Amino acid sequence: MESSRKITNNNLALLIRTVIVVGGLLAWEVYAQKGSYNPIFTSHPMAILKDLVNFLTSGELAYHASITLTEAFLGLFFGSIIGIVLAIIFGYFSFLGDIITPIISAISCIPQLALAPIYVLWFGLGLSSKAFLAGLSVFFNVFSSTYGAIKGIDKQIIESANLLGANNIQTLRTVILPACMPWVLSGFRGGIGAALVGAIIGEYIGAKGGFGWMITYSTSYFNTTRVMSCIVILLIVGMSLNKILDILESKILIWRSETTLSLNNSRNKN
**pLDDT over 60 (residue 199):** yes
Q: How far apart are CA 249 and CA 244, in angstroms?
A: 9
Distance of CA 200 to the CA centre of its chain: 13
Question: Taking residues 83-111, what's their average pLDDT?
Answer: 88
Q: 135-173, pLDDT tens digit by residue?
A: 999 999 999 998 888 888 777 777 777 777 777 777 777
**pLDDT over 80 (residue 93):** yes
77-81, 114-118, 195-199, 228-232: least confidently modelled range: 114-118
55 touches 229 (CB < 8 A): yes
Rg over CA atoms, the chain:
23
Longest dimension (CA), the chain: 75
Work out the percent of the chain whose per-residue pLDDT is above 90: 23
210 CB-near residues (< 8 Å, 6+ apart): 64, 67, 68, 71, 130, 199, 200, 203
The pTM of the full predicted model, rounded to 2 decimals, is 0.79
130 touches 213 (CB < 8 A): no
213 CB-near residues (< 8 Å, 6+ apart): 64, 203, 204, 207
Other CB atoms within a 10 A radius of the CB of residue 68 amount to: 28
Q: How far apart are CA 214 and CA 61, in angstroms?
A: 10
* Fold adopted by 47-254: MetI-like fold (1.10.3720)
Q: 4-32, pLDDT tens digit by residue?
A: 665 576 677 778 888 898 888 888 888 87
Work out the percent of the chain whose per-residue pLDDT is above 70: 89
Q: How far apart are CA 45 and CA 24, in angstroms?
A: 10
Supply the pLDDT for residue 66.
Answer: 92
- Answer with the residue of higher pLDDT: 55 or 261: 55
267 pLDDT band, cuts 50/70/90, is: very low
